[in-house]
Amino acid sequence: YFLKAAVMGNPEAQFWMGEFSYFGEMDSQMDIVRAVKWFEQAADGGVAGAKRYLAWCYDEGVGGVPQDPVRAVNLDREAAEQGDIISQFSLGLAYANGKGSLPKNPQQAIHWWTIAANGGSAAAAFNLGNLYEDGLEGVSIDERQAIQWYEKSADMGNSDAQLKISVAIAKGMGRMRPNPERAVEFWRKLANLGNPEAQVELGKAY
């Protein structure tokens, strides 16, 4: 069904054929070169997810395409503007570090990570927490903001954010009252899930 629809020019079907070839699913052999061809057709048809995959391929120079960070950023931007959360995260990263034709722009990084985080990206929320905890060119340290984003990321299941929150509770960051007992509860839970940093913190507590 997907192959027939893809050959007939259905962009969504072309995207799915690209995914099947990319991952070797649904009786398709893993073939990134073939996947890229499908993604290019799907991207021409406006599918944001296809643009995101192509951005990664151009970033890494795989699937028969040359390494081209500028092209990768442009594709991520198109997908991000269409609402693709992963591309929104990637575009924020590009602005945070400076990539392709983009100079470093922390405010644009905040802009795209905020959109991604509010759309459900735990990684974007965690990066915002880091940004406000450590500061960056043009961004002042703001512990309260950092904790708010770490909490959002933690609520979405990010164990690194949960560890950050536990340390904040232990130290009393962001106008919190220090609460070592509650921090130990966090560390014990995370340590039981195999988080090595939590195991270290738990060891220090005893």
Maximum average pLDDT range among 70-79, 153-162, 168-177: 70-79
Is pLDDT above 70 for 45? Answer: yes
Report the SS3 class of residue 102: strand
Structure confidence by residue, pLDDT tens digits, 99-149: 888 899 999 999 999 999 999 999 999 999 999 998 877 889 998 999 999
Q: What is the 3-state secondary structure (H, E, C) of 147-202?
A: HHHHHHHHHCCCHHHHHHHHHHHHHCHHHCCCCHHHHHHHHHHHHHCCCHHHHHHH
Q: What is the mean pLDDT of the chain?
A: 90
Task: Assign 7 a pLDDT band (cuts: 50, 70, 90).
Answer: very high
Task: Assign 26 a pLDDT band (cuts: 50, 70, 90).
Answer: confident
Tokens of 155: 């609520």
Asked if residues 73 and 81 have their Cβ atoms less than 8 Å apart, the reply is: no
Distance CA 206, CA 204 (A): 5
**Cα distances (angstroms) measured from residue 96 to each of 27, 128, 158, 166, 187:** 40, 11, 21, 26, 30
79 burial via Cβ count (<10 Å: 0-12, 13-18, 19+): buried
Asked if residues 63 and 33 have their Cβ atoms less than 8 Å apart, the reply is: yes
